[in-house]
Amino acid sequence: MPSWVGPASYALFVWWFSTGLIIWLDNLPARTFRWSMSLGTAVFGVSLWQLGATAADGSVWGAYAAFTWAVLAWGWQEMGFFMGYVTGPRRIGSPAGVSEWRRFLHGVNACLYHELAIIATAAVIAYATWGGVNQVGAWTFYVLWAMRASAKLNFFLGVLNLGEQFIPPHLTYLGSYLRRRPMNALFPVSVTLGTAGVVLLLQRAAAPDIGEAAFAGLTFVAAMLALAVVEHWVLILPIPFDKLWNWVLTRRRPTLSKAERPHPNAAATS
């Protein structure tokens, strides 16, 4: 069986570095967003093209390339949301005291365009890679999408760590859609299904007849799913996860103090 160290280490590095880069770009002065998004959109377009091109490449390097392009395509989704370009029609907080269903609908409207962009991108990737021997890029994107959706629902239902330090100042109104609770009913389901997925992928990768390219691809997808499960656990455990990106957070532009920052619900209407 091929060694998992290479693909797992590469996946870990790409996840860590790309996450830090996006956090850094999203917290630069707003005047830089246009240039960041312009470059990011160009990379996004190349990523979709390359995902289609690598679908026919069944080599190990094809698996590495497809994984990388999928992460870059996902990065555009995150940049567009956190820079405020692709969010939703609602750009204010949810009023205090509304029902949970009303707050959920407000939350959907706050990120509707972002979700539609992800769905459209997933459809394009599915079309571009359909029938190809290399599905690593497609499955990487799908896993990122599924676990991000799970994380959003867990934030909405309530978790201990809300990650406020990662929210740019221009999106502080998103805090009104989050709840701080020790845990919620969805959390055990999310981590159980995610962990089961990791186990199944690793079992398939450990099969004696597995080829090197398939092994690398399965390891990439399993690694991203495992990292997403870890990120879920961080939502309820007292782990200083933000220290992984101290090189970014220590360079963030100054934000308003709690007293100076407008309340997320200040301008909200039901």
Given phi > 0 = left and psi -120 to 50 = alpha, else beta, which region is 263? beta
Hey, CA dihedral for 147, 75, 13, 246, is it positive or negative?
negative
* CA–CA dist 119, 125 (Å, integer): 10
Q: How far is CA 155 from each of CA 162, 175, 186, 234, 252, rounded to the nearest angstrom?
A: 7, 10, 10, 12, 23
Task: Please report where in the chains the tokens 């990487």 appear, as a residue.
Answer: 140
Q: Give the pLDDT confidence of 113-146 residue by residue, as tens digits.
A: 999 999 999 999 999 999 999 999 999 999 999 9
Angle at 165 between CA 260 and CA 109, to 5 degrees: 85
* CA–CA dist 94, 88 (Å, integer): 13
Q: Give the pLDDT confidence of 55-69 residue by residue, as tens digits.
A: 999 999 999 999 999
Q: Give the pLDDT confidence of 171-222 residue by residue, as tens digits.
A: 889 989 999 999 999 999 999 999 999 999 999 999 988 999 999 999 999 9
Q: What are phi and psi of 62, to 5 degrees?
A: -65, -40
